[in-house]
Chains A and B, each alone.
Chain A
Amino acid sequence: MAEMNRNRTLKQKITANLTNILLIGIVIWFLTAFLVYPVADVIIDSIWVDGTFNSKAFEMIFTSERAVRAVQNSILLAIVLTFTANVVGTFIVLVTDYFDIKGATILRIAFMSTLVLGGLVLNNGYLFVYGETGVVTQFLAKIFPKIDIGWFNGFPAVLFVMTFGVTHNHTIFLRNAISDLDMNIIDAARNLGSSQWEILKGIVFPTIRPTIITLIIMTFATGLGAFAAPLMVGGKEFQTITPLILTFSQRPGSQDLAAILSIILGLSQVILLLVLTINERKSNFVNTSKSPSKFIKQKIKNPIANFIIHTIAYVLFVIYLLPPVMVILFSFMDTSAITEGILSLDGFTLEHYNNILSSASTYGPLIRSALYSGVAAIVSVLICLVVVRFMMRYKSNNLVQSLELPFFIPWLLPSVLIALGYVLTYDSPNPLLFGNSVIGATWIMPIAYSVVVLPQTMRYIKAAYLSFNTSLEDASKNLGASGFRTFFQIIVPILFPTILALIALNFNTNLAEYNMSVFLYQPSSTPIGVVIQQNSAATATVDSKAINLVYSVVLMIVSSLSIYFVYGRGSKVNKRRGGIES
């Protein structure tokens, strides 16, 4: 009997080990084939030409006025954006979650609208409102005929779009920090005679400072790597690094320049990531309050301040909501109303929706992109789940621990470079792809999409795993369950809300993806991001504009639904699963 048991245990061990080796093998192959090798290949090929250091390419970059200006513009944008976005972002969170402001719920919806208006769609919306043929510009041109209709262009336009485009991070992270404030601490400060302003300055800001610093670094990094805004509203005079990388990499003669610019950008992102990590480690302070009480919104006591804050909040409300509302309303207007920028009941039509949703050539890109980004969202989450599980299980195994590092490469290098790597490395059949090449292949799209979301997926899954009550895992093992059973029956169900949230987040990130798609798509299967970009040119026909409006509305609906599914329904699931920790 004992012999039989021993044999069974040995057999189980071998099977478990083989499964582990197979899973790790698949992950290592995926990371090598779709991340490390193509990126390394394109970088090495750019830096070393015929066995010697390619100093010519570096010289060309530092002597090229266009490249130097792009670097300068990126730094300028990053610095100014850090200031504007954080002022606006902090303000909108204070008015919706710290101060007792009338209509806070409706204000919050408007301020969070950029969450569902990703890159291209957002810029398309702003262009539709403020661009040369935009609704507001046309309206103003009628009143002031001498106005420069190209006013929404260059640095101010990019700054304007990006300022409002990145503050959704504040509505997530800073809002959490505010709602975690302990009311007892604020009451204590009040009891000691502090004014409202003194409490905000002396108690609230120092408490939420770590979150604000994280947001500052995130904003700076976003500004530095800005792509959609400079591309679509920056015009010729305000180009930044990433769009330039795209331009360079589309010309075979300057692909080495694109790679080198990517390295420069990557190095600055590494530095920012290091600062971010150090900040996160340093700012781990603990509330010593034994029984924290729930934060209650503060009424603004000074009537003048109250009036000013309300006014600014509602001005911002209009700014935030105008592009999505106009996009939605005009998607129901006929072409002449769109051309003239006039909203009227006479112009109401469902024609655009009809045209798009009844023809495979127009709804095709939508379905395709949804499919690609859906598959990518699930694949990236699965890969990270496996790796994080191994990392937590084999904490002293350096090989397993080092598996995490390549996951952050897509944060450091522009995704354009990764796509360029695929095109250059796999332009002919390659053993790493089992004798396939990416030329003419559509399967590379979901893979590319899953690679770009690996860093955020890794970070969130790891964080969720670390906050997981490890005594649950101990309890399961103590009750005789194997590691496999513990993982699927205990860990995965608890991490499920995070997994769902990440699938939704990844899906939204890639839905209107452009940077990689423009390199990798097949003309017969264009994804939505590429179509929207093509349709948003100032020279585009009114029909193209109408198509973009409908696409934007559909993308907004899909994004809203996935966010609702996660944050609306998912948070209820989360609540039900909580409350059992102590």
Chain B
Amino acid sequence: MSLFYSKENEMIEIKNLQVKYNDFVAIDDINLKVEKGEFYTLLGPSGCGKTTTLRAIAGFLTPSKGNIKVANTEITHTPVEKRQLGMVFQSYALFPTMTVFDNIAYGLKVEKMKKALVNERVQELAKLVELTDEQLQKNVSELSGGQQQRVAIARALAKNPDVVLFDEPLSNLDAKLRKQLRIELKNIQERTGMTAIYVTHDQEEALEMSSKIAVFNKGKIEQIGTPEEIYDRSATEFVCNFIGDSNVLGSEMMQFIAKNSTYKYSPMKVYYIRTEKLLTQKLEKDDIVQLPAIIEKIVFKGNFYQYYCNILGSQIIVLAKNDQNMPKKIGKQIDVYVNPQDILSYEVQNG
């Protein structure tokens, strides 16, 4: 059995999906398409419906409306055990009474695969996720959190599934290990070519790993796009606020920008700008606007400083590299530059 997936262009297609818990509509009108080999992330805050969507794909929840297709095959009502989808759980869900080897081999034994082939496949997977022979013979409780996660990934990949579902798999690990495993997981995905659907509430994780992101809010999808599209061209105010750090630009500041550039201001809109888009050094471009900023607080962040400034009545954060020769005095005025094209605007929501 090859570790690599077939070249067929398999994908997941979800149409008008709705899941209800009694009368409560957990997700509604979810539509998405996942291409073969994509790393597709469902991103959003707690309770937004991302895990519900994943569990509906896995078959643990029955949709009240809509349908799910895997590789052009309708699976909306197929029993969990027949779906052939790998899954990595948030709690890892490793079988505590079994060794690491038995955990990885479990799905293969269910399929009644020959012993020699099971051994071969487990060895292959152990190599992929960097587990040693000695670790394979241990009980899963004897492994560290990171190692347990590797076992969970190997187990999910064992049956060479069409799609692997990841339910916040790194959320139980400490920050450093999380970053390390993020890279490793992405490497595994690229090497195997698997199609991954990944649930997380961590925007940094989503931006770093995904080929496509669906941002969820209150049971609905707000935006689907590549990480760059989601970050640079956030489609809704929610997405803009949820992803990255932004400044809200007040009306006085916006009127000033409009007066000094070709940018059109409307009081019926709200305006944001990513913190890194406000510059402390002038760029030689036509439409750059210079703004007067009063320093109110300075926070040292290691490789940069955060300047909390008052710009024409708006509280604005400006970033400056720590090798830049910037004034460090509270109350002092500095010049900040903005390219109006970097400003994100959204219609004011009623209520």
Contact = CB atoms under 8 A, between A and B. Distances in A.
A569 to B, nearest CB: 16
A475 B141 contact: no
Contacts of A482: 81
Nearest to B172: A582
B320 interface: no
A580 B140 CA distance: 7
Interface stretch (A225-233, A416-424, A571-579): A571-579
A469 B141 contact: no
Nearest to A13: B79
Contacts of A157: none
A30 to B, nearest CB: 29
A478 B165 CA distance: 10
A494 B96 contact: yes
Contacts of B87: 474-475, 478
B97 A494 contact: yes
Contacts of B5: none
A474 B159 contact: no
Interface string B305-336: 00000000000000000000000000000000
Contacts of B80: 474, 477-478
A475 B89 contact: yes
Interface centre among B60, B83, B97, B172, by most chain A C-beta atoms within 10 angstroms, is B97
Contact of A582 (B59, B86, B91, B140): B91
A480 B84 contact: yes
Contacts of B96: 472, 494, 577-578, 580
Contacts of A496: 97
A580 B107 contact: no
B148 interface: yes
A339 interface: no
Contacts of A489: 95, 106
B273 interface: no
Contacts of B110: 479-481, 485
Given A477-B81, A478-B58, A478-B80, A580 B159 contact: no
A453 B176 CA distance: 52
A481 B94 contact: no
A577 B93 CA distance: 12
Interface residues of A, number: 26
Contacts of A485: 110
Contacts of A9: 82
B97 A581 contact: no
A101 to B, nearest CB: 33
Interface in B83-125: 83-87, 89-97, 106-107, 110-111
A476 B106 contact: yes
Nearest to A486: B81
B89 A580 contact: no
Contacts of A398: none
Interface string A460-471: 000000000101
Given A578-B141, A580-B141, A580-B148, A481 B91 contact: no
Nearest to A577: B96
Contacts of B86: 478
Nearest to A478: B87
B95 A471 contact: no
B275 interface: no
A476 B89 CA distance: 11
Contacts of B141: 576-580
Interface of A: 9, 469, 471-472, 474-482, 485, 489-490, 493-494, 496, 576-582
26 contacts: A469-B93, A471-B90, A471-B93, A472-B95, A474-B87, A478-B58, A478-B80, A478-B86, A479-B81, A479-B107, A479-B110, A479-B155, A479-B158, A480-B81, A480-B107, A480-B110, A490-B97, A493-B95, A494-B95, A496-B97, A576-B141, A577-B97, A577-B141, A578-B141, A580-B92, A580-B96
